[in-house]
Structure 1
Amino acid sequence: MNVLIIGAGYVGTTTGLIFAELGHSVTVIDVDQKKINDLQKGILFFYEPGLDTLLTKHIASGNITFEMDHQKAIKDNPLIFICVGTPQNQDGSANLDFLREASEFIGSNLYEYKIIVIKSTVPAGTSKQVKGWIEYTKKDPVSFDVLSNPEFLREGSALHDALYPDRIILGSENDQATALLQELYKGIKAPFIVTSPSAAELIKYTANSFLATKISFINEIAILCDKLHINVQDVAKGVGLDIRIGPLFLDAGIGYGGSCFPKDVLALIDTAKKNNVDLSILEKVHAVNENQPGYLLKKIKTRLISLSAKKIAVLGLSFKAQTDDIRQSPSLKIIKDLISEGAMVEIHDPVAKLPGDLMDKVFQKASAEEAMINADAILICTDWPHYKKIDWPDLKNKMKSPIVFDGRNMLDAAEMKSIGYIYEGIGCE
């Protein structure tokens, strides 16, 4: 099939490459000329394992092209996926400005029947808004359908998640359009759930918010474990073996971040408020997550007393391993607090880079080992596998104080203590 992707961001680029892998002819457009130029050359602007190889493969095969001729792209493709960003407004609501711009552009260039699919994460009822925007701007009396097909990609494993999804959710009110989308995904084995567009939109927010709830819940239990001198990892393992709960998202730490969970939780809370519904549990989930980085900082201050002029080595900048995404990263919150306390901060991350507002305040080192030399304490903020492989016995003798605060509970506490480190995790001492 001929498929158009509007938005060459993380979701749009990944979605386009997956459809190309399935044998479809894909065109990706974006308003960012540099982004399109780089993608045409096979250069990804974000880090995602395996995706660069797929990009090179399908540029060569001709299955995917990146264009700036937006009018021609809409004319030539009967199936249009909207994959633009829906960032967070200051009040927590979803900003739909990019979505509206894309919808109105489609409408002003709509001269024959098209199927428009919203891939972006949007509040329940947005499909109706998109339909209204297109209706208002279209010039000819042509028909079209608006469907919802939310993505469930985890940064760091997007390629696997797209090729082997747990389910494909489709919000559609047209049987022919539904059949066409099912044909589009032919070759991917997964349950196909067909529902209303509004339900499909709400499924995405509900899923992410529930996973965020599991994270905040185990983080609160971890604080209790610290008080009771119980290992939260033992508790999480015992609880996670219950098939009604499951083991995923029960890793205590410094909280969730990234481009999805923080904004999706707040957007769902906002939707509820606009409909006079109180989501008190979800409000608490957000509050716990906001406080979690501060809990680790409190541990550091209790141990070191004063942070003034102390050198702290921070390992990990991205909100999770296998991605360079630093949006809403707990690491950034902690680094800013360390700076405000007068600490000298040196950081390392294999792929993520410091944001501009921190470049003149923090030193980013080429290796974790370099950042750790002469440090008064080490703080692990991202669970990159490389940090397990560090020669911890050797580095202990190169530090001012052999103190490790493990914000991801990724190291073995007993082993670290046997080496001679003072080790503190989250609910895991």
Structure 2
Amino acid sequence: MKIAVAGTGYVGLVTGVCLASKGHKVTCVDVDENKVKKMQRGESPIYEPGLPELMKESMENLIFTTDYKSAYQDADVIFIGVGTPEKYDGSANLTYVFQVAKQIAQTAEKHCVVVLKSTVPIGTNDKIESYIHNKQVNDVKIYVASNPEFLSQGTAVHDTLHASRIVIGVTEEYPADVLKQVYENFDAPKLVVERRSAEMIKYASNDFLALKISYINEIANLCETVGADIEEVTAGMGFDERIGHRFLKSGIGYGGSCFPKDTKALNWFANFNDNELRTIKAAIEVNENQKFKLVKKAKKYYNDFLFLNVAILGCTFKPGTDDLREAPSLVNIPILMEDGAYIRVWDPVGQENFKKCFPEKIQYCSCIEDAIAGADLCLILTEWGEVKEFDIKKYEELMKHPIVLDGRNCYNLSDFANTRITYDSIGRRTVNPDLYIEK
């Protein structure tokens, strides 16, 4: 089948490459000429494990271009995978979606199905359909369908090729049949629903996971107060099939391109429609407060951060990606710098992006050892494998004051029992809490 994909970010590019790997002829469209040239060479413009390899394997079925007219005019299916960034009021910015819709309306020369892959507010598919029909130039039938994505950064290729479900939102049988053909070789349950239900499934799913994370972080905070261990608590909870083990990992909050944006967008949408989602509103508030957890912990050990050497391990919002969107590092590091701390950052893939935000006054390190050498304090913000596998004895050997504040619970408490390291994590007791408290 001849497919066009608008947008080559995480959603668009992964979707296009995965469809091409299944034998479809896919044309990916982007406005960035340099990005397109890079993709034409078989290079992925985004960091995503497994994507570069699959992209090279599927190049005979892939075309990358800035020429949307040639891509859309004779496509059977056109996926819209452009961004819907958060606006100041929390609502979703649909500018890019409507720009693509206008281009399709002006160039489509055959019957086709336009598929909204981007995360959009409930009712957007209806608006896009009306917009395209009002703007279209040629006398062809253009259908609109909702097909939300459920991929996670770091596992996006696997999440697409081995999806938990494929949701198809339609108002007519024809676009449903077409999308069933598109996904014929994908081994996943295919759920055909109304378009508005499909749009809601996306938001409801993401926001439920955000709720789960915020809930367990609140339980973790209470565990610290009453002396319980959040790891033991979540282990006990997870055996209940109604709860499960996933998304019960306590830490310093969720980030990235989905959960923060989607919770705020659904909260705004509910308020706009005279509804109040109090649980979502609470999740947003809990998550924002949780990001400052380690800075608050640091105040137990130092009255201020003036002239302190602080090591930061991990600046991306999660491992397996170079994405900094809504990452705790973006709020913690400025606070430390404003209080006079000297910052050293280590991250295996996110440093170049972080340098764009903070090109000066931060020392970027090529290894964990360099970051922690002579440090008065170490903050773990991302649970990279290199951090989890790091020899903890080196904290004691290399740091001036081995105080490790772990925002991702990377280590077992027992590992620090016979050390002179103060290890303070989330929802658990502090190991060696009194060794370095500033009097």
TM-score, scaled to structure 2:
0.95
Q: For 1:29-428, what aligned pairs fall within 5 Å after superposition?
A: 29-59=29-59, 62-353=60-351, 354-428=354-428
**1:123-168 superposed Cα distances (whole Å, 9 cap, x missing partner):** 1100011112212211233221100000000101111111111100
Q: CA deviation at 1:112?
A: 2.4
Residue matched to 2:7? 7
Residue identity opposite 1:86 in structure 2: T
CA contact (8 A) 1:81 1:118 kept: yes
1:176 deviates by 2.0
Q: One-letter code of the match for 1:223?
A: N
1:55, CA displacement in angstroms? 1.1
Q: How far off is 1:355 after superposition?
A: 4.3
Contact kept, 8 Å, 1:323 with 1:352, in 2: the verdict is yes
- Secondary structure of 1:159's counterpart equals helix
Q: Aligned partners of 1:242 and 1:416: how far apart in 2?
A: 31
Could you tell me how far apart the structure 2 residues matched to 1:186 and 1:153 are? 19
CA distance in 1, matches of 2:215, 2:198: 26
Name which of structure 1's ranges 300-309 and 16-25 shifts more when overlaid on structure 2.
Answer: 300-309
* Matches of 1:8 and 1:97, distance apart in 2: 16
Range moving further from structure 2, 416-425 or 120-129: 416-425
Any conservation in 1 of the 2:74–2:108 contact (CA below 8 Å)?
no
* Partner AA of 2:316 in structure 1: S
8 Å Cα contact 1:257-1:329 kept in structure 2: yes
| 3-state DSSP of counterpart to 1:194 | strand
CA contact (8 A) 1:369 1:390 kept: no
Instruction: State the SS of the aligned residue for 1:165.
Output: coil
> Residues 215 and 147 from structure 1, CA distance in 2 versus in 1: closer, same or farther, beyond 3 angstroms?
same
Q: Which runs of 5+ in 1 are unaligned?
A: none
8 Å contact 1:8–1:83 — kept in the other structure?
yes
- Comparing 43-52 with 251-260, which one deviates more in the overlay? 43-52
- Following the alignment from structure 1 to structure 2, what is the Cα–Cα distance between the partners of residues 156 and 189? 21
- Output the amino acid matched with 2:243: I
Q: Which runs of 4+ in 1 moved over 4 A?
A: none
Query: What is the distance in 2 between the residues matched to 1:22 and 1:273?
Result: 42
The offset of 1:418, in angstroms, is 2.3
User: Is the CA contact 1:417–1:423 (under 8 Å) kept in the aligned structure 2?
Assistant: no
SS in 2 for 1:123: coil
Contact 2:75 2:110 survives alignment (8 Å): no
**Alignment-derived partner of residue 433 in structure 2:** none
CA distance in structure 1 between the aligned counterparts of 2:298 and 2:239, rounded to whole angstroms: 32
Matched residue type, 2:332: I
Q: Distance in 2 between matches of 1:406 and 1:229?
A: 18
Matched residue, 1:17: 17
Deviations 1:306-337 (A, max 9, x none): 21111110100110001111011012211111
Q: Is the 8 A contact 1:375 1:401 kept in 2?
A: yes
Write the distance in 2 (CA, Å) between the matches of 1:176 and 1:135: 17
**Count of residue pairs the alignment pairs up:** 427
Letter in 2 for 1:334: N
Q: Deviation of residue 184 (structure 1)? A: 1.0
Amino acid of the residue matched to residue 371 of structure 2?
A
Partners in 2 of 1:91 and 1:135 — Cα distance?
A: 30
**Cα displacement (A) at 1:295:** 2.1
Shift of residue 376 of structure 1? Answer: 0.5
Whole-angstrom CA distance in 2 between matches of 1:362 and 1:77: 48
> TM-score with structure 1 length normalisation?
0.98
Task: Give CA deviations for 1:228-262 in whole Å, capped at 9, x if unaligned.
Answer: 11111111111111111111111110000000000
- Displacement, 1:377? 1.2
Q: Distance in 1 between matches of 2:317 and 2:32?
A: 25
Give per-residue Cα distances to partners, 1:46-101, cap 9 Å, x unaligned: 11111110111112xx1111012211111131210000100000000000000010
